[in-house]
Structure 1
Amino acid sequence: MASLTSERAAGRLKARIRSRAEALGFAACRFADARAPWPNGEWLEDFVREGRHGEMGWMAETLARRSHPTAMWDGARTAIVLALNYGPPTDPLEGLKQTDAGYVSVYARGDDYHEIIKGRLKELAGLVARDTGADVKVFVDTAPLMEKPLAQRAGLGWQGKHTNLLSREHGNWLFLGVILSAADLPADAPEQEHCGSCRACLDACPTRAFPAPFQLDARRCISYLTIEHAGPWPVEHRLAAGNRIYGCDDCLAVCPWNKFAAAASEARLMARDALNAPPLARLLALDDAGFRALFAKSPVKRIGRARFLRNVLYAAANSADEALIAPVMALIDDDSALVRGAVAWALSRLMAEDRFNALRDQRLASEADSAVLGEWQRQVTWAI
């Protein structure tokens, strides 16, 4: 009888946590055993050993702590996984047709999700701690915790062939947060993989970043290149990026499971006009203050102006829009060598050959940075 009473009490507590999570705006709240063994630590070790993490050195540095939830906190008994829906109202890939405008990934068009989720997780964690009398820890994806495998373990969704989490109820548009608790709460049933023979996400990738289903080489991923990569990109990826200036949604947006996804209804998660197809000419004119002001509430601010303008200049190069030559030229003496190098590339794609060659001769005589000189000297395949 005591065991039955305990099970009923645990069920009531889970229902109370779910009810509060729903009131806080979360689309799903599921529970997993934080101590159960899993293969994901070995998968991550292989990923890092093969160098597929690129310049994300923090992944190698925190590999041991990422191997399992209890490696982060040995007192963890239950993982409570929360999801917040940020689904777009229409097909976001239509924005790729606007070559004179930048494409910002859907998740970054609203307010920074870290700030949105963190406070809600802490409030919910306080309820869990109060009602269980056990310690809790809160995680959004800045900490070395593998949320996506935990979400699959909790039954919230599964990691698709694109390695992202997707759900039969919510498609591909979910932010995740996790509360680890020292209390033992009954786990929900895990979710199974439902991709079948579909490979739409793999075929949609513009840079072929998936060596095989369920495997990602971040070094080829446009999200990685636009956000994590510090220097100039390989030329093949510049050409493939089109007008993508922050992140990439192709593998998410083409997934057939999105037919069940609802659009986000919360204002802070919805696209702001300034980040929905912003004109490249306007972005090229951003100084430091303008960059900080435009992206004050957006995750874009974390990559800084120089890296962002590199991305915008690559997009300008792909636009074939000669009207962008003037705003690109305005950056030719920018303080950042990264920006100046991207200017050289963009002008090589936008200018007529004779005009570019004359400009190149001038710049080779005045430019001191070896990497920028390399961009001016790069063999060009003329786009016009």
Structure 2
Amino acid sequence: MTDALFQPIQLGKLTLHNRIVMPPMTRSRASQPDDAANDLMATYYAQRASAGLIVTEGTQISPMGKGYAWTPGIYSETQIAGWKKVTEAVHAKDGSIFAQLWHVGRVTHPDNIGGEQPISSSAIQAENVKVFVDNGTDEPGFVDVTKPREMTHDDIKLVIEQYRQAALNAIEAGFDGIELHAANGYLINQFIDSESNNRTDEYGGCLENRLRFLDEVVAAMVDAIGGDRVGVRLAPLTTLNGTVDSDPINTYTAAAALLDKQKIVYLHIAEVDWDDAPDTPVSFKQALRNAFSGVLIYAGRYNGEKAEKAISQGLADMVGFGRPFVANPDLPKRIKHGYPLAAHVPETLFGGGEQGLIDYPNYTSQANAEQ
């Protein structure tokens, strides 16, 4: 039974048809040299518009925010126009879509940011982390990230303004709202986690200081477009891209409480999702529920049954299904009716064209045809 997944839910001013989220997944198909969304991406997202909510792939807020080749931006007029194609296609299918706003911080290479040195909370290089650069072929070339420089106060003010402007650009492009990417080891996460932040000013040291940048970025975006159109993604227990916190339960419960004061519309928790990863403790999920009064979304290794249970127990309001959405554009229908799920082709996840992006079919069966 997956009835709880198919109840409508209010998200700010939006009434969503179901509790299924298509979470952000990098696909690296943006048009070059402008890093702009395109018709191919519009088709891809529109095919998946039966999700209660789509959150786009990470979308850089500035040229310095780019970590990987061929990812889209949302800071130029060309990029805004490209995203309009996507939002119009999704809305034509009665879908709802948020843009995930992204600055990678230190998780990049000068080849991806015009030869500049990356910026971060601190001048600490992420260890054993690679990104891909455009090496002139259809196959990305993977290179080690480089050492960043510590952001100055002027850098911090500039990036906050870039987030604010990106939120306004997203609304101009027709998005229903934005999700701040504060997870997976990228810039915001580099300020939050204790082992990636060795600053000695008001943005480093104690927990209150390490959360300050997150707080100021969210405040700027809420001021610009309203809290009912702002969501935030956190990854409390992952150590992706080299960010580690010494006390993640306390850190991220405090982050949830801080975000609740900003009255954002949702909090999106990325759980560890590798095959033998430990489950997020139920006690921690309950603490997050107690700290945050908005819509709570979880993503990571969910199937219909597990998602139904999370919602029925009151721990989650919505659930994201990442990789299953790649190969199953009609995923909500497949979950609802118990249809088998197709498997994605890993080699086509990043870069390329239509293959592995928009050529996965909807499920067809005699029973399906009769509905």
Which TM-score applies when normalising by structure 2? 0.27
Higher helix share: 1
Higher strand share: 2
